[in-house]
Structure 1
């Protein structure tokens, strides 16, 4: 069975970022060298100078060419990275995608929402923001973002209309694997670097038209309508021609970075859904589609390495993706036979049951026996959701009543649901909370919260965290001032009875992690090793031990990290502000050190071989705050 080490993948992604910087530096030397040589030859040809090449390289003119080229490339990179500072949603808006409204009436968009929400619950991450490229009729999609907790998923109109639910699930499973393997941050950085490399050619178009041409207009305007400036023609054509050197370098870098990742993402998608036919079906539809996966968007070049399928046709050397035949064959080894003998429509055993390549899963027709819940299986599940997790998430999702699903997709409704979660089980303190809520919100909202609380009581505790995951996309869309006010109300509701319950701490921790970017994304401490972080880890283990089986669990968990004795903190010392500060600092540990911390936390929870809902919720809040996606523990 294919097992992807989430923490190892995060390390690899950081290493690939270093390689990306090296590739960028090499591309800089190549582009500067070609431009410098071109200006030398042109100047020689029209008798602007009489330097030899060695003299030219030491001349002020050559230094000016190098300096200006560096300024253009670095300026283009910095500008694009600044534009993408908000992550995936900034990219979606930049390429002209439109958000899917929660109350959309389109059946295909609602189908996408259902598939994505089920998969998000199974993977243990908040539901991604959903966008559609309305004018793109090819079958394609991509995900973008800097963190697994803040993702944007973009699909084309063609993918929504051409794929059925199973095939769509295969494509979304592929995209979720990119989220869980740490590819997204690298891909956004790659867009910034490519923007700088492509800037030379874009500047040529700008000079050619005296500033009247915008790069975004190249497919939206008739070039005959542009104002061409004849005096700038020779120089601008030269820059446009040199821009193709940058285009070539950019495509080589993309091919080197992203090509092999597609095979791994396909494998993870098959493992996730345990249905090879769904991904094969999507790839076959791309192969048989009139447009395929081609994008006509003016930024197709910049985002091509993010996409599920190839955004345009390139030679194998420069392709960002393996060929469709290669990808299908890796999943279904019988595919070449059926392709050769014209039997693509037949459903073979391999398409139904197993991809036969060794790096893929080996599926059985009999149900898989779920392994026991142990420290090893829990830690291994991080970033590795299984079909059992997906089935569990689907079951939970189907238990949620339609009126709650409607509310959770609306900004006001999402707030009402989180308020109602805080009202659960607090009959004695109901009056104090009503006073707080009536002061901050309308009486009508308070009445809705009370009515909803009674409905949530009948659903049970297992839906509480999934409801938070479903509510986060709508809450993230709140304006900054309204979001700040909302978090203040949450804090006031928690303090209304003068004490903080475990679930109240969990709820506020998750909400602040995703909504309060100022307090949860900054830290004055960055630990270099685990020894420096032990006091903070000790505090978190103390809380988990108090929730679970006591000090003995704390002692067992601490031994997995160090032989150094650390005091067991009392429950009074485990104050929310101290815990939040500890988690905020631990967030900046390296991936492998985070793994050690989570390993100790799971050891503490499982010390008595029993797991309560409260323990799971606190563990989930800690792990999620460390930017690690943790699927639900089944059973």
Structure 2
């Protein structure tokens, strides 16, 4: 399945989850009613019990969903995760950060926040959040110590498939809903623990109610495990397949799974309650469950899908070998030559280079990074000066780096932009941005701007909300400082604002689109007209033909005249929300139309490719860091 099919499947999974949740709630209410009717024989008491049960489940779910509004970082912190420091010198953590950054840039999404579960010796990981803007990836200390770079890359690529395909928001909603249906069991446990000292008939009645709650709560736990197993198993197979598609090799992912099967710690987590709640989000099983309630497919079957000739008896041999000498990931890196790569990336393509890209190829690369995209991402990151990379990663300097990307080359305009920045964020930040623009970003290649912004994103979203609000206002003022806004300048600033807003309030922006193409005709026409004009500057006839080709692809029965908006790129403010609400199949056609509009002659320039990437990112259809002319 491609990205759009995966998104549609995740949306269907969300609807299926609601139906399963409703069925589970009905089963619990029926069990409670039966118990109340058996002990009291009163219809009134039965009705009251139904209302109370529904209230407990509903309030429990609402409470848990509210506690997860902070997104991926909140889940990682609740699991005991420790944030990876910006200036870490731990070689395992630096390796993790490098792998995650390269995968993120190759995927076209912001770099997620990183956490380590320091007390967990098992090999495991999870991705959490409502979307790419608030994503967090957590790995266990066991994974860092036992996996080599290829294996760690396979695990990270597996987790990124959950980030890209909409699984994360499904998983985090699943946590909230399942907490509600397990509430009765939790209440019964607390009463039994703290109510044992009760005497008399009231105390006995309380303990009897607790016992009933425990028994009925067991039904909730059963339904919860059944729902998790039903929702997550197939998504895990798809995530494994996506990871292999990305890395173009199976040994990394298969090697990680073999180490789970061959090491005593496996993938188990120490904290049973946490493992129960987040089991469906993990890379491997967090606790032992019967096969038909397990949240993951059998380990041997996952390996066999990657290596068809795999014999499960191999795990016994590995277990015997590793019992005496457990694997050391960093030592394996050194032996296999998988350590830090030589800092001499090949030259980037000339700014006027042309790539042969067709609309289906463009849509086919959305959220489908391949091995060459990983290499490109590595080269883009390594091609940035090391000092600039570190400035982007640090909380204190991320804002100046991002502001410097938008400073104009014209000194007079840059002075006005500096004034706008200083008035909102302070003279020190404005001076830093100007200095960075003059000394570090003057010759920055167009394809490096978005990767640099992606590196800065984790540090940026850790700033206090008032500072972020002031910074976003400053970005808006800088872009409109002279009333002349280029398409890329507008899109880059808009992308920054959208991603920050989504990170500040992730639950509010989490949704699966359902809009059909005919409902957004005017928005289609505006976006295609602006991109056709940008892709063919000074060539109005060519731009018109490109516009009509794109329109024919997305709305073949409509005849909307080519009319570039008088306000130019600023007319796009009205199109993003309606177009982002499109259903996945309609978005796929839209992306193909955008490729047509930007490159009607089948040739795509580097600057145009970056413009297309930025627009697609605003529509939550991430493209690789450097579009290639191979499918």
Alignment of 1:574 with 2:561, yes or no, is no
Displacement of 1:9 after TM fit?
1.4
Task: Tell me, yes or no, if the aligned pair for 1:509 and 1:621 is still in contact at 8 Å.
Answer: no
Which residue does the alignment assign to 2:5? Answer: 8
More moved, 5-14 vs 304-313: 5-14
In the alignment, which of 199, 207, 223 is matched to residue 191 of structure 2?
Answer: 207
* Deviation per residue, 1:158-185 (Å, 9 max, x gap): 2122212111100001111112222111
Displacement of 1:622 after TM fit?
1.9
Which residue does the alignment assign to 1:398? Answer: 382
Structure 1: distance between partners of 2:239 and 2:416: 50
What SS does the aligned partner of 2:564 have?
Answer: coil
Displacement of 1:581 after TM fit?
1.7
Alignment of 1:515 with 2:500, yes or no, is yes
* Deviation per residue, 1:123-156 (Å, 9 max, x gap): 1111112122222221111112222333121212
Alignment of 1:312 with 2:287, yes or no, is yes
Displacement of 1:563 after TM fit?
3.6
Alignment of 1:152 with 2:136, yes or no, is yes
Which residue does the alignment assign to 2:240? Answer: 266
Alignment of 1:612 with 2:596, yes or no, is no
Structure 1: distance between partners of 2:112 and 2:288: 29
More moved, 234-243 vs 580-589: 234-243
* Deviation per residue, 1:349-404 (Å, 9 max, x gap): xxxxxxxxxxxxxxxxxxxxxx9522111101112111111111111111111111
Structure 1: distance between partners of 2:177 and 2:91: 38
Displacement of 1:618 after TM fit?
2.6
In the alignment, which of 329, 332, 338 is matched to residue 304 of structure 2?
Answer: 329
Cα distance change, pair 431–186 in 1 and its aligned pair in 2 (3 A): closer
Displacement of 1:567 after TM fit?
2.9
Alignment of 1:252 with 2:226, yes or no, is yes
Alignment of 1:30 with 2:27, yes or no, is yes
Cα distance change, pair 522–10 in 1 and its aligned pair in 2 (3 A): closer
Cα distance change, pair 229–430 in 1 and its aligned pair in 2 (3 A): same
Which residue does the alignment assign to 1:85? Answer: 69
Scaled by the length of structure 2, what TM-score is found? 0.86
Which residue does the alignment assign to 1:564? Answer: 558
Structure 1: distance between partners of 2:28 and 2:150: 46
* Deviation per residue, 1:264-285 (Å, 9 max, x gap): 1111111111121111111111
Cα distance change, pair 528–382 in 1 and its aligned pair in 2 (3 A): closer
Cα distance change, pair 337–188 in 1 and its aligned pair in 2 (3 A): closer
Which residue does the alignment assign to 1:348? Answer: none
Which residue does the alignment assign to 2:521? Answer: 534
Bigger relative contact order, structure 1 or 2, given CA contacts below 8 A and separation 6+? 2
Which residue does the alignment assign to 1:377? Answer: 361
Which residue does the alignment assign to 1:243? Answer: 217
Scaled by the length of structure 1, what TM-score is found? 0.85
Displacement of 1:327 after TM fit?
0.9
Task: Tell me, yes or no, if the aligned pair for 1:623 and 1:629 is still in contact at 8 Å.
Answer: yes
Where do 1:15-94 residues align within 5 Å?
Answer: 15-41=12-38, 43=39, 49=40, 51=41, 59-94=43-78
Displacement of 1:497 after TM fit?
3.5
Alignment of 1:555 with 2:548, yes or no, is yes
Structure 2: distance between partners of 1:440 and 1:68: 52
Which residue does the alignment assign to 1:436? Answer: 420
More moved, 435-444 vs 167-176: 435-444
What SS does the aligned partner of 2:568 have?
Answer: coil
Structure 2: distance between partners of 1:270 and 1:5: 14
Structure 2: distance between partners of 1:279 and 1:317: 24
Cα distance change, pair 341–254 in 1 and its aligned pair in 2 (3 A): closer
What SS does the aligned partner of 1:155 have?
Answer: strand
Q: Which runs of 5+ in 2 are unaligned?
A: 322-354, 537-542
Where do 1:380-459 residues align within 5 Å?
Answer: 380-423=364-407, 425-453=409-437, 454-459=439-444
What SS does the aligned partner of 1:458 have?
Answer: coil
* Deviation per residue, 1:267-309 (Å, 9 max, x gap): 1111111121111111111112222111123321110001000
RMSD: 2.6
Q: Which runs of 5+ in 1 are unaligned?
A: 44-48, 212-226, 346-370
What SS does the aligned partner of 1:130 have?
Answer: strand
Task: Tell me, yes or no, if the aligned pair for 1:502 and 1:614 is still in contact at 8 Å.
Answer: no
Displacement of 1:210 after TM fit?
4.5
In the alignment, which of 276, 282, 286 is matched to residue 256 of structure 2?
Answer: 282
State how many pairs are aligned. Answer: 577
